[in-house]
Amino acid sequence: MTWTRDQIAARAAEEVPPGATINLGIGLPTLVAGHICADGGVMVHSENGLLGMGPFPFEGDEDPHLINAGKQTVTVVAGGAFFDSAMSFSMIRGGHLDVVMLGAMQVGSNGDIANWSIPGGRTMGIGGAMDLATGCRRVVALMTHTSKRGAAKLVDRCTFPLTAAGAVNRVITELGVFDPAGDGFVAVQLAPDVTLDFVRERTDAPVTRPETGDDITKRTPR
């Protein structure tokens, strides 16, 4: 059984230490806000000028003036703050964010990330992903393990235009949790009923167990 998008987000929330300041990229990462512990002191940053972003509002409670970088309506937690784009990117480029979670089209075994343009496709622009990937202390990529056409997205080396080189620390997909290791990926955790051979068939790079030889924990995120 593979993880759902919501279960990927729940597992990603476990990567956030108490008291951290984090940024959630457009797409799948935005779901993580709904799994952040309210008592953990975590502050979610949005590059359009918000610190203290909460989960999505209930239907009927939306405020069109409160949006994230993907123009989705959001909520604001107590103590939240608003500021202009210059201040927002000063926070990113100044190294003030502990964790960033980004969607990705490809992640290389050397930690490279490509998440803004498919060769031959329509180019939407890189946005703030380049700054986030290089300015944050830890980068976690949330993505499907393969494309809609079945092509591997965890690869030896990226063939799409790079967003940042050597930036990714961890990748979470519907198949599990993987760390770039330079010459392949280390399977930190697998989703229930997912085998290492199943992952290897869908990864364009070697996939190994942790060097400790420990069994890979299989469980479903809450």
Between strands 99-103 and 76-82, the pairing is unpaired
Residue 1 to residue 196: CA distance in whole angstroms = 13
Q: Distance from CA of residue 166 to its chain's centroid?
A: 15
Give me the residues paired with residue 103 across strands.
142
Instruction: State the sign of the Cα–Cα–Cα–Cα dihedral 1, 208, 105, 47.
Output: positive
Cα–Cα distance list, 209 to 179, 186, 191 (Å): 10, 6, 14
Cα(119)–Cα(11) distance, integer angstroms: 31
Tens digit of pLDDT for each residue in 80-91? Answer: 999 999 999 999
The dihedral region occupied by 19, where left means phi > 0, alpha psi between -120 and 50, and beta the remainder, is: left
pLDDT of residue 98: 97
Domains detected in the chain: 5-218 (3.40.1080.10)
Band the pLDDT of 40: cuts 50, 70, 90: confident
The per-residue pLDDT for range 109-120, each reduced to its tens digit, is: 999 999 988 776
One-character DSSP codes across 130-160 = HHHHHHSSEEEEE--SB-TT--BSEESS--S
Q: What is the pLDDT of residues 179-219, one digit of tens each?
A: 999 999 999 999 999 999 999 999 999 999 987 555 566 66
Q: d(Cα 186, Cα 189) in Å, to the nearest integer?
A: 9
* Mean pLDDT along residues 98-124: 89
What is the pLDDT, as a whole number, of residue 50? 93
- In the residue annotation, 62 being an active-site residue is answered as no
Q: pTM here?
A: 0.90
Tens digit of pLDDT for each residue in 45-78? 999 999 999 888 989 889 888 888 888 899 998 8
Q: Rounded distance, CA 206 to CA 210, Å? A: 13
What pLDDT, on the 0 to 100 scale, is given for residue 96?
95
Query: What pLDDT does 218 receive?
Result: 61
User: What mean pLDDT value characterizes the chain?
Assistant: 91
Question: Which tens digit of pLDDT belongs to each residue from 132-154?
Answer: 999 999 999 999 999 999 999 99
**Is residue 2 pLDDT above 60, yes or no?**
yes
CA nearest neighbour of 163 among 205, 135, 131, 141: 131
- Of the candidates 14, 15, 47, 62, the residue annotated as catalytic is 47
